[in-house]
């Protein structure tokens, strides 16, 4: 299947700092990428839809000023958690679809995830 790479896989930071997570589609172009958050023993929660060359679409309850998303190219989207606090500690996962449709009927491929711990 298609490959989505996410970096860093694990990050620990102090409260108040900002953290950037990168998501890359390695072998396909992705006009749309999705950012999810998952707390322990809970389901995936869609945070926002990242659109190449335009503003991201945020889900209800997700602060767009806190979770900055940039999708500057067809293969890269970044999520920046600004002024992180302990309650932002979570597993952040990006996903993407193959824009050319080679993956078939719209399967999402996930990055490896980034575990954020805010002290």
Partner 1 sequence: QKEVEQNSGPLSVPEGAIASLNCTYSDRGSQSFFWYRQYSGKSPELIMSIYSNGDKEDGRFTAQLNKASQYVSLLIRDSQPSDSATYLCAVSSGYSTLTFGKGTMLLVSP
Which value, in Å, is the radius of gyration of the alpha carbons in the chain?
14
Contacts with partner 1, 27-66, as mask; x by CB under 8 A: -------x-------xxx-x--x-----------------
- 77-116: which residues touch partner 1 (CB under 8 A)? 91, 93, 97, 104-113, 115
Q: Using alpha carbons only, what angle is made at residue 90 by residues 97 and 72, rounded to the nearest 5 degrees?
A: 40
Is there binding between residue 74 and partner 1 (CB under 8 A)? Answer: no
The number of residues making up the chain comes to 119
* Closest to 62 measured CA to CA, from 40, 43, 35, 39: 35
Footprint of partner 1 on residues 6-25 (CB under 8 A)? 6
Smaller CB separation from partner 1, 36 or 81: 36
State which of residues 1, 16, 26, 85 lies at the interface with partner 1 (CB under 8 A): 1
Phi/psi zone of residue 47: left (φ > 0), alpha (ψ -120 to 50 degrees), beta? alpha
Closer residue to partner 1, CB minimum distance, 74 or 113: 113
Give how many residues touch partner 1 by CB under 8 A. 22
Please state, in angstroms and as integers, the Cα–Cα distance from residue 37 to each residue in 34, 109, 113, following that order: 10, 15, 9
Positions touching partner 1 (CB under 8 A) are 1, 6, 34, 42-44, 46, 49, 91, 93, 97, 104-113, 115
């Amino acid at each position: 299947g298609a490959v989505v790479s996410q970096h860093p896989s694990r990050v620990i930071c102090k409260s108040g700092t900002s953290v950037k997570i990168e998501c890359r589609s390695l072998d396909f172009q992705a006009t749309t990428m999705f950012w999810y958050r998952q707390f322990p023993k809970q389901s995936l929660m869609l945070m926002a839809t990242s659109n190449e060359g335009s503003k991201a679409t945020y889900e209800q309850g997700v602060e767009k000023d806190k979770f900055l998303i940039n999708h500057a190219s067809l293969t890269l989207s970044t999520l920046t958690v600004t002024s992180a606090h302990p309650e932002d500690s979570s597993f952040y996962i990006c996903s993407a679809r193959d824009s050319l449709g080679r993956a078939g009927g719209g399967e999402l491929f996930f990055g490896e995830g980034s575990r954020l711990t805010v002290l």
